[in-house]
Amino acid sequence: MKRMRVLAAALLAALMAVLPGCGRTSATPTVRVGVAVYDQTDTFISAITQHLEQMFQEEEQRLGVKINLSVADGRSSQSVQNEQVDRFLDLGCDVICVNIVNRTAAAVIVDKARAAEVPVIFFNREPVEEDLFRWEGAYYVGSPGAEAGRLQGMLVVDAWRADPAALDRSGDGVLQYVMLEGEPGHQDALLRTEHSIQTLVTGGVQVEKLESAAANWQRSQAAERMRQWLEAVEEPIEAVFANNDDMALGAIDACLEAGMTVEELPFIVGVDATAPALEAVRAGTLQGTVRNDARGQAESIVALSRALMGFEDVSEAVELTDGKYVWLSYTAVTAADVLSQAKPVGR
């Protein structure tokens, strides 16, 4: 059985480490890991992938095994991704990590993995619970979208409380906003949209939604939407809630193209804390973001993989909720946070 084979490799690696003269030779045991992502051009997913590549490489040293890592790009097609998973299983992968294209389609992958007895770690795109619970060897690593929504909402509530006039351009006591949503049906799009606005309402800010649309996490689609809204909407857009940073940057692009100065921009907030978004916070065009912990998610995926391949106990490697979920927290990032980090070291 696969777990036994990997365990044997782990034992062999441990033995070689204690025997004199047994360094990493041609006899170094090998394990295989397959990573399938929904779309490699996605900014946040490509950050996770880069961390995974680096961290699995570091694991080789640590565990004394060769790790054959394959990364496959599903190019937003579930059937392409299913074939990639088949190929990983044919190749004899010891664990597979899946950023599923269609989060309602996980049952097929769970069943294939179960038949091959290869554990599967889903990440970032959360399968429906029923599918994840089909087999004990299926797990999920991610961050709770509702928390991102709440933190994003709080960025706006805090700014409103500190200086309402700076946001309320029309002076009517109501915050007129637009919402740029991620992919329809994605848990983060649904939860961030709902909880950001709910936080404003419970925080005592009166709101009016002028427009909302899905821009599928993409900067160019968000810019296109924002262009249309700037032309069509008569009232001033006072705030832009974007479910992720790339879409927030798209909104900024459209506003600047329309001739707005930095001071005239609406209060724009995103999620992810990608490098270009942090630059925009520094430049004063983006008012804040929420860190989506790409590094932490990659670390958890690597730790869980290590455990599922028999190198460590799962309970020591990660903290599991309901025996299935590894949850990573979000953190709010304000301009003050970014500027304080930018201070030259040693001064």
Which residues make up the interface to ligand GAL (CB under 6 A)?
A: 42, 44-45, 124-125, 188, 217, 244, 271-272, 292
Q: Which is nearer to ligand GAL, 32 or 125 (CB)?
A: 125
Estimate to the nearest angstrom the gap between the alpha carbon of 331 and the chain centroid. Answer: 13
Q: Which is nearer to ligand GAL, 181 or 188 (CB)?
A: 188
Least distance to ligand GAL, CB of residue 146, Å:
12
Strand 325-327 vs strand 95-98: parallel, antiparallel, or unpaired?
unpaired
Write the CA distances from 70 to 32, 45, 119, 160, 294, integer angstroms. Answer: 8, 15, 16, 47, 19
Least distance to ligand GAL, CB of residue 243, Å:
7
Q: Which is nearer to ligand GAL, 272 or 299 (CB)?
A: 272
Least distance to ligand GAL, CB of residue 344, Å:
30
Q: d(Cα 50, Cα 289) in Å, to the nearest integer?
A: 21
Q: d(Cα 107, Cα 10) in Å, to the nearest integer?
A: 30
Q: Which is nearer to ligand GAL, 40 or 212 (CB)?
A: 40
Q: d(Cα 42, Cα 292) in Å, to the nearest integer?
A: 14
Least distance to ligand GAL, CB of residue 207, Å:
22
Q: What is the dihedral of CA 115, 118, 124, 130, to 10 degrees?
A: 40
Q: Which is nearer to ligand GAL, 244 or 305 (CB)?
A: 244
Q: What is the dihedral of CA 9, 10, 14, 19, to 10 degrees?
A: 0
Q: Which is nearer to ligand GAL, 44 or 311 (CB)?
A: 44
Least distance to ligand GAL, CB of residue 343, Å:
28
Contact 230, 254 (CB under 8 A): yes
Burial of residue 331 (number of CB atoms within 10 Å: 0-12, 13-18, 19+): middle
Q: Which is nearer to ligand GAL, 42 or 59 (CB)?
A: 42
Strand 331-334 vs strand 288-291: parallel, antiparallel, or unpaired?
antiparallel
Least distance to ligand GAL, CB of residue 295, Å:
14
Contact 158, 152 (CB under 8 A): no
Least distance to ligand GAL, CB of residue 188, Å:
4
